[in-house]
């Protein structure tokens, strides 16, 4: 058991490190190729911080533990809002950009309902995945066109990314290291998570909703907390919403194209909680265009209550 826990933690650390390497290398390379910072933030960075979830979900689908893949996405989306935004708002209230209120948050809510409908037959099938990936492509195209229409809203990438953009070979090396870390860490993380579930006789769906989901959300947590400490907390909520959109469209889409994902082990309550957190974020963000400390406390308490409800 002790060795399994060591492998689990090691796999998680490799995953987080791989994601960080991939984000930095790909962001700097994209900047060198002339892609605007806003598009990089909406695509490369958002996808990069979601890459642990992608690696874990693909490995779970390939290894026949697809309940972990679906639970990972549902649990990560709940954790991103309840745990991460809750903690970040408590540290420092977050201002909300108008585009999030008008576009990204409503989209997150809509696709959360779509996943619930798709899983009604207890599976996310190949054709469900095809629809999700097609929607992802549409989202990326829309984001790119929107950035062309509103260049003044572009965010500034971290200075270390700006510095790396002139070192093409190093960017490529970081990308390769990141991909290797995601693949190796994902395999180690999933296999040890399955062993933990078997040792304690806990359903794989529960493991995916809790331990795996929280573990793969560490990059988002680190990014959001650091942003809050640096008084850049307005960036944090955008990263979380973008990550949740990618989790559904990209991760579930790609994983289900590889292998159908089982919906067994999940109750209606799991989907309702995911949707509820997405829905409640809209009025919270709309009120004063900020996410306040009391609202962050409500989100965090709601998340802890959900964890207490589902853990056997």
This prediction has a pTM of 0.79
Give residue 154's pLDDT band: very low, low, confident or very high (50, 70, 90).
Answer: very low
- Looking at domain 2-310, which CATH architecture does it have? Up-down Bundle (1.20)
Give the pairing of strands 94-95 and 290-291: antiparallel
pLDDT in tens, 244-274: 999 999 999 998 998 888 888 888 999 999 9
Q: What would the mean pLDDT of 16-28 be, rounded to a whole number?
A: 75
pLDDT surpassing 60 at residue 297: yes
Q: Which of the residue ranges 109-123, 193-207, 237-251 has the most confident prediction, judged by mean pLDDT? A: 109-123
- Helices 66-79 and 51-62 pack at an angle, to 10 degrees, of 160
Spell out the domain ranges in the chain: 2-310
Residue 36's φ and ψ, nearest 5 degrees, are: -70, 150
Predicted pLDDT at 312: 66
* Percentage of the chain exceeding pLDDT 90: 28
Give the pairing of strands 123-124 and 290-291: unpaired
Q: Which of the residue ranges 89-98, 146-155, 241-250 has the most confident prediction, judged by mean pLDDT? A: 241-250
Q: What would the mean pLDDT of 194-205 be, rounded to a whole number?
A: 80
Residue 123's φ and ψ, nearest 5 degrees, are: -160, 150
Predicted pLDDT at 146: 67
| Average of per-residue pLDDT values in the chain | 81
3-state helix, strand, coil in the chain (%, to 5): 85, 5, 15
Question: Residue 253's Cα: distance from chain center in Å?
Answer: 14
Q: What would the mean pLDDT of 70-89 be, rounded to a whole number?
A: 92
Is residue 165 a contact partner of residue 39, using CB atoms and an 8 Å limit? Answer: no
pLDDT surpassing 70 at residue 99: yes
Give residue 152's pLDDT band: very low, low, confident or very high (50, 70, 90).
Answer: very low
Predicted pLDDT at 168: 78
E-assigned strand segments in the chain: 94-95, 123-124, 261-262, 290-291
């Amino acid at each position: 058991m002790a060795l399994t826990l060591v492998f689990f933690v090691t796999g998680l650390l490799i995953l987080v490190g791989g994601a960080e390497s991939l984000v930095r290398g790909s962001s700097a390379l994209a900047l060198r190729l002339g892609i605007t910072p806003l598009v990089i933030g909406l695509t490369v960075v958002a996808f990069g911080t979601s890459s642990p979830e992608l690696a874990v979900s693909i490995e779970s689908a390939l290894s026949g533990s697809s309940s972990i893949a679906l639970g990972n996405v549902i649990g990560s989306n709940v954790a991103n809002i309840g745990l991460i935004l809750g903690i970040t708002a408590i540290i420092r209230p977050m201002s909300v950009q108008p585009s999030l209120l008008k576009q990204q948050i409503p989209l997150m809510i809509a696709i959360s309902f779509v996943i619930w409908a798709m899983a009604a037959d207890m599976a996310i099938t190949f054709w469900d995945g095809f629809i999700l990936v097609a929607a992802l492509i549409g989202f990326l195209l829309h984001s790119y066109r929107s950035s062309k229409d509103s260049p003044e809203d572009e965010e500034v990438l971290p200075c270390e990314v700006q510095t790396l953009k002139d070192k093409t070979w190093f960017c490529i090396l970081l990308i390769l290291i990141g991909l290797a870390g995601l693949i190796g860490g994902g395999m180690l993380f999933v296999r040890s998570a399955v062993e933990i579930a078997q040792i304690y006789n806990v359903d794989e769906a529960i493991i995916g909703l809790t331990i795996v989901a929280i573990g793969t959300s560490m990059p988002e947590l680190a990014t959001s907390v650091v942003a809050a400490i640096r008084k850049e907390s307005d960036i944090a909520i955008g990263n979380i919403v973008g990550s949740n959109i990618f989790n559904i469209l990209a991760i579930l889409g790609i994983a289900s194209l590889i292998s159908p994902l089982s919906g067994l082990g999940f109750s209606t309550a799991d989907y309702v909680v995911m949707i509820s957190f997405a829905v409640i974020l809209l009025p919270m963000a709309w009120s004063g265009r900020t996410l306040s400390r009391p609202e962050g406390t409500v989100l965090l308490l709601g998340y802890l209550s959900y964890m207490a409800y589902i853990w056997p």
